[in-house]
Amino acid sequence: MSIPLVLEQLRSRSHEAVMLEEPVPTSELPTPALLLNRPALERNISAMATYLESHGKGFRPHAKTHKCPLICQRQIAAGAVGICVAKVGEAVAHAAAGIESILITSPVTTAPKAAVIADLARQISGLSVVVDSMAGVDVLAAQLDASSPVAVLIDLDVAMGRTGARGLDKVLALHERIVAHPMMRFAGVQHYAGHLMHVEGFDRRREKSLSLWSRLRDEVLTGLAERGIECAVVTGAGTGTYNIDVEVPELTDLQVGSYIFMDEEYRLIGGRESERFDDFEVSLNVACTTISQPRNGAITVDGGYKAFASDSVAPVTDALPDVKFHFAGDEHGVLALPDGEQELRLGQILQFVTPHCDPTVNLHDYYWVQEEDNLVHSCWPITARGASW
Ligand SMILES: Cc1ncc(COP(=O)(O)O)c(C=O)c1O
């Protein structure tokens, strides 16, 4: 399939809510089902937007977490300056759904993807991209139109070693190359320290994050300022450091993603004053059904690796904290029951907090949306599902 066909398919995907004929209880869902509690979602969006505003910072939430334009709309209504997406494919899906201000947070180095970016720049007014190499600048410049310029940020790296330019000389050379192109407008820098988001313990996380920002200041930001290079945007940070990085004066906006749903990996890192990181509510669960019991002391549910993505911890069910989930392949999980207890029966639906929300969402086609009455009233499509290119 060539890129135009993929684009056509992506642009035609649904991004509207579908109302159920009648609200249904979770016990009637076809499991495994991704369950979104809308009131909790709205409270999380509002709490983050209010917090950032009260600290004088912009809110640029990351849509890689939810891949859903309906959620972007709520974040924008709460005051977001725009949204982030990780990849070009996600940008295409969100632009087609009418989202106008999009920052693509991963660099691109090939002509076909640069051509898609050029096309997006003609479609929406607020497209920004990051670059971290000369090759990346040149490949973009070769595709962009002077009539539809794009805001370009330099992605910076200090210690993570994933993406980003390291060192002032490289950043200055990139800046020089960007401003030489009339179809590019230098807008500032991005710095995301993903390796620090899950550092356990607030004080340790704070110390590590602030010292990294201070290194970034010493190694790059001061050098840019001394040369009169203005960074209108200094964007970065995530859920794990949202209430730490607001202390960084240069940071203009935060790219928080997971806070809208929360997941078990994040709950374990600890909050400012609590053992669990519970500043935001868990609004996302996967509902699974108990389907088999080959032996005593364990019961099998219908969700495995195709329902939950996990790179470390297992799903947990808050209703039964002593029950341990073990992955039992692609379609199944086995719940180890506490000694001698048999509180579960077959055909029961249980809700599990996701181990890692972003890749779990990417396994599902839609959210089953629960309202105040706990009934599911609608489905929201995960429009950019699978668009990881
Ligand atoms: C560049 C970038 N910014 C922001 C985020 C959002 O981080 P979080 O989900 O921890 O809030 C991510 C997540 O991986 C990211 O890669």
The amino acid occupying position 141 is A
Q: Do 78 and 216 lie in a common domain?
A: yes
Asked if 242 and 354 sit in the same domain, the reply is no
Q: Give yes or no: residues 163 and 305 share one domain.
A: no
Q: Hey, which of 255, 260, 269, 283 would you mutate to test ligand 1's pocket, going by the most ligand atoms within 8 Å of its Cβ?
A: 255
| Residue 191 maps to a domain | yes
Query: In this structure, what CATH number is given to the domain that contains residue 343?
Result: 2.40.37.20
For residue 302, pLDDT over 80 is answered with yes
Amino acid, single-letter form, for residue 240: G
CA distance to 51, 179, 256, 265, per residue, from 358 (Å) = 23, 35, 12, 11
- What is the distance in A from the centroid of ligand 1 to the CA of 239? 8
Q: How far is the CA of 346 from the centre of ligand 1 (A)?
A: 38
Read off the pLDDT of residues 268-287 as tens digits, 9 standing for 90 and up.
999 999 999 999 999 999 99
163 and 259 in a single domain? The answer is yes
Identify whether 30 is part of a domain: no
The tens digit of pLDDT for each residue in 192-201 reads 999 999 999 9
Contacts (Cβ under 8 Å, ≥6 apart) of 132: 107, 154, 155, 156, 157, 163, 164, 165, 174
Q: CB of 192 closer than 6 A to ligand 1?
A: yes
Counting the structural domains of the chain, the total is 2
Is there a contact between 186 and 179 (Cβ–Cβ < 8 Å)? yes
Same domain, 83 and 207: yes
Residue where the block lists tokens 């979602």:
41
Same domain? 371 vs 311: yes
Residues 221 and 263 in one domain: yes
**Domain assignment of residue 294, given as a range:** 3-15+282-381
CA 264 to chain CA centroid, nearest Å: 15
Query: Does residue 322 share a domain with residue 198?
Result: no
Distance (Å) from CA 25 to ligand 1 centroid: 33
Q: For residue range 200-258, what is the model confidence (pLDDT) as tens digits?
A: 999 999 999 999 999 999 999 999 999 999 999 999 999 999 999 999 999 999 999 99
Is 26 part of a structural domain of the chain? no
**CA 62/CA 75 separation, integer angstroms:** 10
Q: In whole angstroms, what is the distance from residue 110 CA to residue 139 CA? A: 6
Peptide bond before 32: cis, by omega within 30 degrees of 0?
yes
- Tell me if 272 is assigned to some domain: no
- CATH number of the domain bearing residue 86: 3.20.20.10
Residues 79 and 203 in one domain: yes
